[in-house]
Amino acid sequence: MSQENTSSIIVVGKLGAPYGIKGWLKVHSFTDDPIGIFDFSPWLIGQQGKWQTLEVVDWRRHNKGFIAKFAQVNDRDEAMAYTHAEISMDAAQLPELPQGEFYWRDLIGMSVVTDKGYDLGIVDDLMETGSNDVLVVKANNKDAFGQAERLIPFLTDSVIKEIKHDAKEITVDWDPGF
């Protein structure tokens, strides 16, 4: 994979320290279901802007995390070279979602407008809270309410009125003064 074509790369975890002498490495999964990281192989391993493919040949639970063995890594010295590397995958490897469902990354960069037509800004990030997810909306430079950013609860029954994927726009029932 060339370094220029990284727009479809998603970081799904990170490799930790070597485990044992046979080339196993600790794995830190960032996926919603931590075991889900093993549904994708090969993994793209990123280090200093360079990408390499590693094939997972075995994995197992270890303490509160996981350890994995790769086809190309056969001893502790080889494993050391991958310590702290990012585990990524190509977005094309993600399964298709049912109609009306989406990945968080699909919402990043979408415009957010109120149901009365006020432009609140662009989705910059999403946060998980205990009760519901929250859109982090970066306000426009000339926001009439002087807001730099807004935190809007992602409540599909009350706040989020419509998500238009093609138009890259989310319509919300929200007071721009908040």
Please list, in sequence order, all residues whose beta carbon lies within 8 angstroms of the beta carbon of residue 15, skipping any fewer than 6 positions away: 25, 26, 27, 28, 45, 82, 83, 84, 85, 86, 87
Whole-number mean pLDDT of the chain? 87
**Is the confidence at residue 5, as pLDDT, over 60?**
no
pTM confidence score: 0.59
Per-residue model confidence (pLDDT) at position 2: 37
pLDDT in tens, 61-97: 998 899 999 998 999 999 999 999 999 887 777 777 7
Q: What is the pLDDT of residue 1?
A: 39
State how far the alpha carbon of 117 is from the alpha carbons of 16, 121, 168, in Å: 48, 12, 15
